[in-house]
Every structure is written in structure tokens, then in C-alpha cells.
């Protein structure tokens, strides 16, 4: 089974790309790191307790007892987080669980007899998952497009959006480490979809829209 690592910068178009791959014929299985990142911090999972121990009860929604991701995000992306120390603690607690769960899902794809599957993760390099994939695919776009899409999608101010972009590995570094580059700078995702179809075809899997 071919294991593809799909990554990029925040709001460069990873989810749009993985949605296209999952809708292609035949569908390509996607393992979504953002979804798994939410699952590993649900109440009573080991990472939940580690996060509450470190960040305190302030990160919990008192009604649901779930971790309030907006509150956690405000702590780790705040200007007070000198040298990104709190973000490193958060990553140190959650990344091992996210990694393990993603690999578990990949193993299930292999056992089902899939020809390929895609690990969709913004932190392919940061979380060390690039070491286990066969192919690294990087979705990138121009800086202006990234900023515009991020501010629009997440209703962020340009300053907050810039700080989130700056907290990630620079997109140029990711581009240099890519086996396959997908350019999503066009004003619509159609151009990117054609590049994805070509890549899927090259890997011997479909390469067209199913629905
Ligand atoms: P990521 O998963 O990398 O964070 P998304 O796929 O969510 O990024 O894309 C970010 C936002 O930009 C979304 O609102 C998406 O609909 C939009 N978008 C993606 N590609 C394009 C494109 N080529 N042109 C215009 N908007 C786009």
C-alpha cells in the first residue's frame, strides 16, 4: 500500500485537496489529523488529563467538561507565549497520540486491501510522520492568497492570521521537502484538482471526480 503524506500551510488548501481525493473514483481513503487531534483530547483520554494538569481547569468547558479548543488556542497563540513554549508543551502531549492513532488507521487501510491512503496533516514534518510515508505531497499557494483565505475562513484579524502562519514551519521549507508539489494559488480550486487527478493517476489510482 502506498502511504501518501499530504501537508501544506494553514489554509493553503489541504482539506479542499483531501475532499477531492476522497470523492474521486475509486475513493482514496483519507486519514484526517485534525479530526484525530480532536478525538485524542476528548474527556478521559490520556492527553485530556495531561492537558488539564498543565494548562489548568481554565481550558475546560464547565458544562460539557470538554476541552475548549478556542481557549487552548488563545493560550498557545497569544503574544505572551514566549518562544512558543506553551505550544511546544501542547504538541509534546498530543503529537504522540495523534501519530499512533493515524498509523493505526493506516494499518486498517492496509488490512482492508487499499492500494493507497493519504495522511492529511498540517504537521507532517513537525510530528515526524514524514518518516513513515512513501510520498510527501505539499499543497501551497501564494502568501497573499493564504492570508486572505485564512482570515475569511476563520474570521481572524490579519494580525492573528499572520501569527498563526508564523507559528508553523515556513511553507518554503515544506516545498523543498516535497516529492510532489501541488500549486493552489489559482482563484478557484479547479486547477489544483487537475493536478491531484494527475498525481492519483500516476500512482495507478483512478484520478477523476466520482460524484
Ligand atoms: P487547509 O485545510 O490547508 O487549512 P482549506 O482547504 O480549508 O485549507 O482552504 C482554506 C480556505 O480557502 C477554505 O475556505 C477553502 O474553501 C478556500 N480555498 C481553497 N482553495 C481555494 C482556491 N484555489 N481559491 C479560493 N479559495 C480556496
For residues 120 and 80, which has the higher predicted lDDT (pLDDT)?
120
> What pLDDT was estimated at residue 80?
78
Q: What is the pLDDT of residues 18-45, one digit of tens each?
A: 999 999 888 999 999 999 999 999 999 9
Report how far residue 180's alpha carbon sits from residue 169's, in angstroms, rounded to the nearest whole number: 18
Q: What is the pTM of this model?
A: 0.89
Average pLDDT, rounded, for the chain: 92
From the alpha carbon of 8, which atom of ligand 1 is closest?
3
Pocket of ligand 1 (CB under 6 A): 8, 10-16, 149, 153, 184, 186-189, 192
The CA 52 to ligand 1 mean position distance, Å, reads 32
* Per-domain residue ranges of the chain: 2-202
- CA torsion through residues 51, 56, 61, 63, sign: positive
Ligand 1 centroid–CA 76 distance in Å is 24
Q: Which CATH architecture has domain 2-202?
A: 3-Layer(aba) Sandwich (3.40)
> What is the predicted pLDDT for the residue at 211?
39
Residue whose Cα lies nearest atom 9 of ligand 1: it is: 13
Number of other CB atoms surrounding residue 95 within 10 Å: 19
Segment 4-15 mean pLDDT: 96
Q: pLDDT-based confidence at 128, cuts 50/70/90?
A: confident
Mapping DSSP to helix (H, G, I), strand (E, B) and coil, where does residue 189 land?
coil
> What's the pLDDT band for 204 if we cut at 50, 70, 90?
confident
Amino acid at each position: 500500500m502506498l502511504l501518501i503524506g499530504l501537508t501544506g500551510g494553514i489554509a493553503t488548501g489541504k482539506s479542499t485537496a483531501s475532499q477531492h481525493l476522497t470523492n474521486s473514483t475509486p475513493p482514496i481513503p483519507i486519514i484526517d489529523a485534525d479530526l484525530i487531534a480532536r478525538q485524542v483530547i476528548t474527556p478521559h483520554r490520556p492527553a485530556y488529563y495531561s492537558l488539564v494538569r498543565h494548562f489548568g481547569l481554565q481550558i475546560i468547558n464547565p458544562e460539557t467538561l470538554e476541552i475548549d479548543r478556542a481557549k487552548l488556542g488563545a493560550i498557545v497563540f497569544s503574544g505572551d507565549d514566549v518562544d512558543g513554549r506553551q505550544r511546544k508543551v501542547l504538541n509534546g502531549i498530543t503529537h504522540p497520540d495523534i501519530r499512533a492513532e493515524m498509523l493505526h488507521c493506516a494499518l486498517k487501510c492496509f488490512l482492508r486491501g487499499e492500494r493507497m491512503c493519504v495522511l492529511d496533516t498540517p504537521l507532517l514534518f513537525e510530528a515526524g510522520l514524514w518518516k513513515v510515508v512513501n510520498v510527501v505531497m505539499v499543497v501551497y499557494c501564494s502568501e497573499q492568497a493564504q492570508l486572505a483565505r485564512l482570515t475569511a475562513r476563520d474570521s481572524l484579524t490579519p494580525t492573528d492570521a499572520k501569527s498563526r502562519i508564523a507559528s508553523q514551519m515556513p511553507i518554503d521549507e515544506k516545498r523543498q521537502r516535497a516529492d510532489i508539489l501541488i500549486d493552489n494559488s489559482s482563484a478557484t480550486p479547479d486547477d489544483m484538482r487537475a493536478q491531484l487527478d494527475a498525481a492519483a493517476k500516476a500512482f495507478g489510482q483512478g484520478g477523476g471526480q466520482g460524484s
